[in-house]
């Protein structure tokens, strides 16, 4: 029984840390551009297909393929911001929101055109043997996922809090005009945020596809929306909030699937969100503000 609980917790931690990586993109972009980038989930999908192309069509080894995937997504994130969102910097939030949904459909339709609707099987590129700790078996994928996400989160936290570019980012998210008076290039800082968010989404996409091993144009939708929930749960705009929200969500989901009901797991996850928002509308780590999304 205990073994089983620990294994379920580890599964939850694995899924949750993937959600957390994606949630970081939502929360950082929200912090700096004050918009919900609903196309963010589809970056995961693009990442998955990019990895597929790099491995299968270009025959690249795993590490260069992963790097290429991450760079592709980071560039795509920047391009999307420049083309679709930047012209709307002064537009009402609803226009931006609808544009983001439009970009999301655009990306899905583009991959539908290129790769077709039939799911493509994909073999995991992570071939690490499972480890047995006492009676608990930890899969290689879980180990790699936890290491990769931990490294990403520590690196991001250090970047945001300890570097000049990181403090410029925080300054822009707080007051663009004042940041500009300091000599900070606001547009470049926003681009950088999109690049980092999309890079993390690519990492999440790679880990996700190694877990599910099947490619569809809509594969980003569900992890995307779950990660959005995680970001809101943690407090949108808060970086540690996104990490905690993601992991919490993954664990709740995994425990509900194992011990309550597979069908009800998603309902329970969203139910938790509703309860948290009723008690603390700004999310677990969010600042109290009256801003409308």
Partner 1 sequence: MAMLKVTDLKVYYGVIQAIKGISFEVNQGEVIALIGANGAGKTTILHTVTGLIPPKNGRIEFEGKDITKLQGHKIVSLGMAHVPEGRRVFASLTVLENLKLGAYTRKNKEEINASLEMVYKRFPRLEERKSQLAGTLSGGEQQMLAMGRALMSKPRILLMDEPSMGLSPIYVNEIFDIIKQVSAEGTTVLLVEQNAKKALEIADRAYVLETGNIALEGKASDLMNNESVKKAYLGE
| Binding flag, residue 183, partner 1 (CB under 8 A) | yes
Q: How far is CA 51 from CA 70, 85, 140, 245, in A?
A: 9, 26, 19, 27
The number of residues that bind partner 1 (CB under 8 A) is 17
Q: Which is nearer to partner 1, 140 or 166 (CB)?
A: 166
Task: Provide, rounded to whole angstroms, the least separation between the CB of residue 170 and partner 1.
Answer: 6
| Binding flag, residue 186, partner 1 (CB under 8 A) | yes
Task: Provide, rounded to whole angstroms, the least separation between the CB of residue 186 and partner 1.
Answer: 7
Q: How far is CA 219 from CA 120, 248, 253, 260, 267, in A?
A: 11, 22, 18, 25, 19
Phi, psi (degrees; rounded to nearest 5) at 134: 65, -125
Tokens of 38: 């609903």
Phi, psi (degrees; rounded to nearest 5) at 34: 55, 40
Tokens of 148: 């990769």
Tokens of 99: 């544009």
**Binding residues for partner 1 restricted to 147-176, rule: CB under 8 A:** 164, 167-168, 170-171, 174-175
Q: Which is nearer to partner 1, 129 or 177 (CB)?
A: 177
Reduced to 3 states (helix: H, G, I; strand: E, B; else coil), residue 39 is: coil
Tokens of 9: 């917790």
| Binding flag, residue 84, partner 1 (CB under 8 A) | no
| Binding flag, residue 68, partner 1 (CB under 8 A) | no
| Binding flag, residue 291, partner 1 (CB under 8 A) | no
CB distance 59 to 77 below 8 Å: no
Q: Which is nearer to partner 1, 90 or 292 (CB)?
A: 90
Tokens of 225: 């929306």
Task: Provide, rounded to whole angstroms, the least separation between the CB of residue 91 and partner 1.
Answer: 15
| Binding flag, residue 181, partner 1 (CB under 8 A) | yes
Site string for partner 1, 115-154 (x = CB under 8 A): ----------------------------------------
**Among residues 18, 20, 22, 184, the one that binds partner 1 under rule CB under 8 A:** 184
Could you tell me the sign of the dihedral formed by the alpha carbons of 37, 41, 42, 46, in that order? positive
Q: Where do contacts with partner 1 occur on this chain (CB under 8 A)?
A: 164, 167-168, 170-171, 174-175, 177-186
């Amino acid at each position: 029984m205990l073994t089983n609980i620990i294994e379920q917790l580890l599964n939850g931690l694995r899924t949750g840390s993937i959600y957390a990586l994606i949630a970081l993109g939502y929360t950082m972009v929200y912090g700096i551009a004050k918009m919900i980038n609903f196309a963010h989930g589809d970056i995961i999908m693009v990442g998955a297909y990019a990895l597929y192309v790099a491995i299968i069509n270009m025959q690249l080894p795993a590490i260069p393929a992963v790097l290429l995937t991450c760079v592709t997504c980071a560039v795509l994130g920047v391009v999307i911001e420049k083309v679709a969102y930047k012209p709307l910097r002064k537009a009402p939030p609803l226009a931006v929101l609808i544009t983001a949904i439009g970009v999301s459909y655009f990306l899905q339709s583009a991959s539908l055109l290129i790769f077709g609707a039939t799911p493509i099987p994909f073999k995991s590129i992570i071939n690490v043997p499972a480890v047995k700790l006492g009676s608990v078996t930890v899969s290689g994928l879980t180990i790699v996922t936890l290491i990769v996400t931990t490294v990403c989160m520590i690196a991001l936290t250090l970047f945001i809090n300890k570097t000049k570019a990181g403090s410029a980012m925080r300054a822009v998210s707080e007051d663009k005009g004042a940041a500009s008076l300091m000599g900070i290039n606001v547009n470049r800082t926003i681009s950088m945020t999109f690049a980092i968010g999309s890079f993390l989404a690519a990492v999440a996409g790679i880990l996700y596809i190694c877990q599910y091993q099947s490619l569809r144009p809509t594969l980003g939708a569900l992890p995307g929306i779950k990660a959005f929930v995680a970001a809101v749960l943690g407090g949108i705009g808060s970086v540690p909030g996104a990490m905690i929200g993601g992991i919490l969500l993954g664990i709740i989901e995994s425990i509900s699937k194992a011990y309550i009901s597979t069908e009800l797991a998603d309902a329970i996850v969203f139910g938790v969100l509703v309860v948290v928002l009723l008690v603390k509308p700004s999310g677990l780590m969010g600042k109290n503000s009256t801003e409308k999304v």
